[in-house]
Structure 1
Amino acid sequence: MRIRTCLAGATGWAGSELARGIAAASDLELVGGVSRSGAGRSLGERIGDPRLDGVRLHATAAEALAAGCDVFVEYTGPESAKANVLAALEHGAHAVVGTSGLADDDYAEIDALARARSLGVLACGNFALTAVLLQKFAEIAARHLSHWEIIDYGSAGKRDVPSGTVRELALRMSQVKPPEPTVAAEQAIGPAATRGASLAGTQVHSLRLPGQVLGVDVVFGIPDQTLVLRHQAGSSAKPYVDGALLAIRRVSTLVGVHRGLDRVLDA
């Protein structure tokens, strides 16, 4: 039996590529999409893929969910993501979250509802394999090194700061241990904001510039030694498809919110 999937943000940069990936998968079925700009039209017509001609686009998640699905994929924006995921859980669907900008408090509320309904939510700041590996390597490095900061790169038009990738990364590193800055940011001489913002105990610096898509540097330092771990994405959304498909297939094995694709890599 195929996994019936509803995709919010189906005509977007990442969502449209994922829709094509679902169409090519024999074990998945895209049964509905959310796109305010394409509401009432066929997804196949909207993105130029005849395999998806039978998939209707809806203006809201509530409308798309009315037809029912097994897994709801959230790929819209931070202003609507939380409400969409809560609506999916209310309709009895597991959820995969690829949208940036949700805070820890948002995930706590989502987790409470997911556990009450015995449903899984897999939130991935980044579905790309190199980003998943960066997270794992950073956790290993944090066990052995005492000082680190994160640089978050994004396009000039990316409004959420930091990226979902960096939010997830900072949280997971904090669960290893907090960094040990020699001089705390609030003790700096000069504008404290130039030291970045503290996120889960880690100083994070968000850059938003033309020419950037998405990137992360985790910079570790100990006396006379520096280690830099870097993930940098190109302009294509294709690297995120395989990870998102894996998340759709595995999210039903979870209960509550789980953050990071590696939570299901070995499932």
Structure 2
Amino acid sequence: MEISVIVAGATGRMGQEVVRMIEQNDHLHLVGAVSRSNVGKDIGDIVGLGKLGILCTASVIQTLETVQADVLIDFTTPEHVKVHAEQAILAGVRPVIGTSGLSEKDIESLSHLARLYKIGVIFAPNFAIGAVLMMQFAAKAALYMPHVEIIESHHDQKLDAPSGTAVKTAEMIARNRSEIKQGHPDEQELIDGARGAMMSGFRIHSVRLPGMVAHQEVIFGDQGQTLTIRHDSIHRESFMPGVKLAVEKVMELDYFVYGLENVLDF
């Protein structure tokens, strides 16, 4: 199936990888690139592929109005992603969302809009297949080891904390365990935030440092033992097989999907 794609956030680090991935697959065709900081420049020159004849535009809505597309891939910022997805759905274009920061209310709103217009949407907090497996394994482990904490680490330019992957992992774990009080009942934080954020009765810790890409470990503790489930993305190309899969799968959908695991065969 031939699929025409717009990339929003095309000159960001993830967006550039997406453009390269599209150009490596004959059935995918780049028809639009959105980058407010590079308007009028050829996206091919920016990503090192030579001229592709696709000039960067200033906004998603402008691009939707000027090209015919099947899919919008969004790797922008939390404050813009919901509006971009709404604009795509209303234009009959299927969003594939990799930008984290969507709230539960945002997800409900986009899910309703997708059902109303019968448009497929995939929102994946993490497109790395290994990360999806990590979340699945963590959810299974929570059935037997309910004492757990999550440590996620990303590059220092990431805008949201905790990461969408950590939030999704916590939601999956929470479905498989009763909420319990972990740690000493009289525990006190001598410095605010020392124990991390609380979600569903357990802690999430966020690390932001240069040199990192995307990393997460889920640590379970029980009598005389610990279990650590860890995933590391050491290069952004690790996300591209999942992005490609989502672009192909979203063409078959007419509803909203939250999490790449829901289009994989587990």
SS in 1 for 2:156: coil
| Cα 1:19–1:183 shift into 2, 3 Å | same
CA contact (8 A) 1:3 1:27 kept: yes
CA offset at residue 35 of structure 1? 0.6
CA offset at residue 255 of structure 1? 3.3
Alignment partner, residue 261 of structure 1:
260
Rounded Cα–Cα distance in structure 2 between residues aligned with 1:82 and 1:184: 40
Rounded Cα–Cα distance in structure 1 between residues aligned with 2:26 and 2:241: 14
CA offset at residue 184 of structure 1? 8.1
Alignment partner, residue 177 of structure 1:
177
TM score, norm. by length of structure 1: 0.91
Rounded Cα–Cα distance in structure 1 between residues aligned with 2:22 and 2:85: 20
SS in 2 for 1:195: coil
SS in 2 for 1:122: strand
Rounded Cα–Cα distance in structure 2 between residues aligned with 1:44 and 1:213: 24
CA offset at residue 201 of structure 1? 4.3
CA contact (8 A) 2:97 2:122 kept: yes
Indicate the RMSD between aligned Cα atoms, in angstroms.
2.0
Give % identity. 36
Alignment partner, residue 209 of structure 2:
209
Rounded Cα–Cα distance in structure 2 between residues aligned with 1:89 and 1:154: 30
CA contact (8 A) 1:147 1:179 kept: no
Q: Deviations over 1:41-81 (max 9, x none)?
A: 2211222213x612221111101111231111111111211
CA offset at residue 155 of structure 1? 1.9
Rounded Cα–Cα distance in structure 2 between residues aligned with 1:201 and 1:96: 31
Q: Point out where structure 1 has 5 or more consecutive residues left out of the alignment.
A: none
SS in 2 for 1:143: coil
Q: How many residues align?
A: 264
Rounded Cα–Cα distance in structure 1 between residues aligned with 2:201 and 2:69: 38
CA offset at residue 180 of structure 1? 2.5
Alignment partner, residue 249 of structure 2:
250
CA contact (8 A) 1:168 1:259 kept: no
CA offset at residue 179 of structure 1? 4.5
| Residue type at the aligned position of 1:128 | A
TM score, norm. by length of structure 2: 0.92
Q: Point out where structure 2 has 5 or more consecutive residues left out of the alignment.
A: none
Rounded Cα–Cα distance in structure 1 between residues aligned with 2:195 and 2:255: 35
CA contact (8 A) 1:6 1:30 kept: yes
CA offset at residue 262 of structure 1? 1.9
1:63 correspondence with 2:65: no
| Cα 1:119–1:154 shift into 2, 3 Å | same
Alignment partner, residue 132 of structure 1:
132
Rounded Cα–Cα distance in structure 2 between residues aligned with 1:210 and 1:179: 35
Q: Deviations over 1:110-148 (max 9, x none)?
A: 111111111121111111121111011111111221111
CA offset at residue 222 of structure 1? 1.3
SS in 2 for 1:30: strand
CA contact (8 A) 2:148 2:202 kept: yes
CA contact (8 A) 1:68 1:91 kept: no
Pairing 1:67-86 to 2, within 5 Å after superposition: 67-86=67-86
CA offset at residue 159 of structure 1? 2.5
1:25 correspondence with 2:34: no
| Cα 1:69–1:190 shift into 2, 3 Å | same
CA contact (8 A) 1:78 1:102 kept: yes
CA offset at residue 92 of structure 1? 0.9
Alignment partner, residue 10 of structure 2:
10
SS in 2 for 1:11: coil
CA offset at residue 105 of structure 1? 1.7
CA offset at residue 11 of structure 1? 1.3
Pairing 1:164-203 to 2, within 5 Å after superposition: 164-183=164-183, 188-191=187-190, 193-203=193-203
CA offset at residue 202 of structure 1? 3.5
